[in-house]
Amino acid sequence: MDDSIEFATFGAGCFWCTEAIFRAIRGVTKVTPGYAGGHVSNPTYDQVCSGKTGHIEVAHISFYPKNIGYEQLVEIFFGIHNPTTQNRQGNDIGEQYQSVIFYHSTTQKEIAEKVKTRIETEKIYDAPLVTHIRPFTEFFEAEEYHKAYYAKHPDELYCETIINPKIVKLRKSFSHFLK
């Protein structure tokens, strides 16, 4: 049996939301919030929020493909955020909140493109998808206070009003993938 771990890296708006979603998925061993896609080494949250580094808030996911396939992770990614809004998720506005899949291999790229095309063809959303599919190059972990944010602060207003509805949607639409 192959026990190798693979990686997926998704930008779906605020990384607190994305991390909370993927931590609940079986086969996922670790989810780390951080930054990818920019041109500055070791950026800080404040630098990323300035819009001057080119980074996107992402969740870097470690998973066992024997328990959950990359295609299923991509389907969950598309299902838990709005992939039709450019540089925005709800009230979170800026380039750092764009919808993006950073692929780690040619196979992941092909799967991401296939799922995106299927979602567009099936017209699951009323507007065109703006999700970018880009090669993974480098990942920088977010500051410690961002890690497991939802788990540590479930009663905060942002968690209650923004993350909780996504968790409800996850449980409704993807319950067969939950731990």
Residue 14 annotated to the active site: yes
Helix/strand/coil (H/E/C) assignment for every residue in the chain: CCCCCEEEEEEECCHHHHHHHHHCECCEEEEEEEEECCCCCCCCHHHHHCCCCCCEEEEEEEECCCCCCHHHHHHHHHHHCCCCCCCEECCEECHHHCEEEEECCHHHHHHHHHHHHHHHHCCCCCCCCCCEEEECCCEEECCHHHCCHHHHCCCCHHHHHHHHHHHHHHHHHCHHHEC
- From the candidates 14, 17, 49, 159, which is the catalytic residue? 14
- Residues annotated as catalytic (active site), given as ranges: 14
